[in-house]
Each structure stands twice: as structure tokens, then as C-alpha cells.
A and B are shown apart, each in its own frame.
Chain A
Amino acid sequence: DIQMTQSPSSLSASVGDRVTITCRASQSISSYLNWYQQKPGKAPKLLIYAASSLQSGVPSRFSGSGSGTDFTLTISSLQPEDFATYSCHQSYSTPWTFGQGTKVEIK
């Protein structure tokens, strides 16, 4: 199985901050990397697919980059509605696997 490791596990930030979350794969997954946002009690929502493609309807302050084993999700200016947990997901090979999640909290 491909292991996905996110860092940090949690972070505290203020509205307007630039936030970066990292996801590392245990082997190369090319650009088969997706990012989801999850709020408490809700289902995950797709933000970014194929490492850097913004899902329709997602604000442009979200961006993704990387390929191979190292990926980042960046929120350019954190908004109140962005406080949530973010998870990466590899679809390079089954079993598809997720990172453990990064919780973004209000500072």
C-alpha cells in the first residue's frame, strides 16, 4: 500500500494568513493526488484533483502543487469558512489511500 503522510497534523492560523499543508507519498504517484476539505459532521468535499487542478466552484485562494512524492496545498488568504480538516488522497494505485488529515484551527 502507498502510505500518505501529511504535515502538520494540526495548525493554528488567523484570517488572512497564508497556509501551506504538505503531503508526502511513500513512493512516486506522479500527479495522482487529490485534496479534500472536511468540516465537522460533514462529508469530504473535493478541492483539488490531479495535484493542481481546481475543482469547479472552489475559490481560487486554494491551490495545489507537486508531483512524484511531495505535494502541497496552499490557501493564499485564510477565510473564516476555511477552518476545517484537509486530507490528501492518492489514486495512483489501489488500495487508494488518504493522509491522516490536517486540522486548521482558529488562532
Chain B
Amino acid sequence: QVQLQESGPGLVKPSETLSLICTVSGGSISSYYWNWIRQPPGKGLEWIGYISNSGSTNYNPSLKSRVTISVDTSKNQCSLKLSSVTAADTAVFYCASRYCTNGVCYFNKWGQGTLVTVSS
């Protein structure tokens, strides 16, 4: 049973870089596409981007200039870096695996999420 666990600082200063890690257990990180999704307090979900099992990435254009997603297969971890953060980046951040059936893709496994607050 694949399980995901996000970790990282809960507080980041404005203009700095937010860095989070998603640790995958119960399966190989090389088997899926790994996504990051965020949810500002009281608001809806926003897809940030993914890294494929071949290492290619696809980012939301609204964040593309500030986002980097990478994988460390030796540690079975996926990481997210979001640069030049502002208060608007305060959110719960989730990692999620993408699964596809008959061409339709969806997020079948999610981490529990981690709240990151941007404040000085």
C-alpha cells in the first residue's frame, strides 16, 4: 500500500524559497507521476505541477517561473521548490500520485498535507 508523507518547514519568510519533500513508502517512486497540489486556507485546490516517471516535468503556467519539482530515486522522495514566496503562497501543500485508466487520469493517493505559512 503506497503511502505519501510531506515534510518541510512550516514557516517561510517572504522572498525566500519554500522547500518540501514527499517521501513515498510501500512502493517505488519510479512507478508513477508525482504531483504537487496546494490549497490556501478556506479556498479550493490548485495543481502546481508534476514530474513523470521518466523525469519530465509539467508545471502550472501561473507558477512555472518559480517552481521546480524533482525526484531522488535513491531516497524514494519527490521534492518541491517554490521561489520568491509571498503571503499569497500560504497554503496546505499536498503531494499526490497520478493514476490513469483508459486515458483518464486522476489523483489516487494523497499525502496528509503540510501547512506552509509565509510570514516575516
Q: Which residues of A contact B (CB under 8 A)?
A: 1, 31-32, 34, 36, 42-46, 49-50, 53, 55, 87, 89, 91, 94-101
B47: chain A residues at CB < 8 Å are 94-98
B95 to A, closest residue via Cβ? A43
- A contacts with B: majority SS: loop
Could you say which of B11-19, B56-64, B77-85 contacts chain A?
B56-64
Size class of the contact patch on chain B: 20 to 34
Closest residue to B112 on the A side, CB-wise? A43
1/0 contact trace for B83-120 toward A, CB 8 Å? 00000000000101000011011111011110000000
18 new A-B contacts at CB < 8 Å, known A89-B106, A97-B47: A34-B104, A34-B106, A44-B110, A46-B106, A49-B104, A50-B101, A50-B106, A87-B45, A89-B45, A91-B104, A91-B105, A94-B47, A95-B60, A95-B61, A96-B47, A99-B44, A101-B44, A101-B45
Cβ of B46 under 8 Å from chain A: yes
- What distance in Å separates the Cβ of A95 from its nearest Cβ neighbour in chain B? 4
- Complex CA gap A43/B10 in Å reads 17
**With the chains together, A83 CA to B96 CA distance in Å?**
23
Least CB distance, A21 to chain B, in whole angstroms = 14
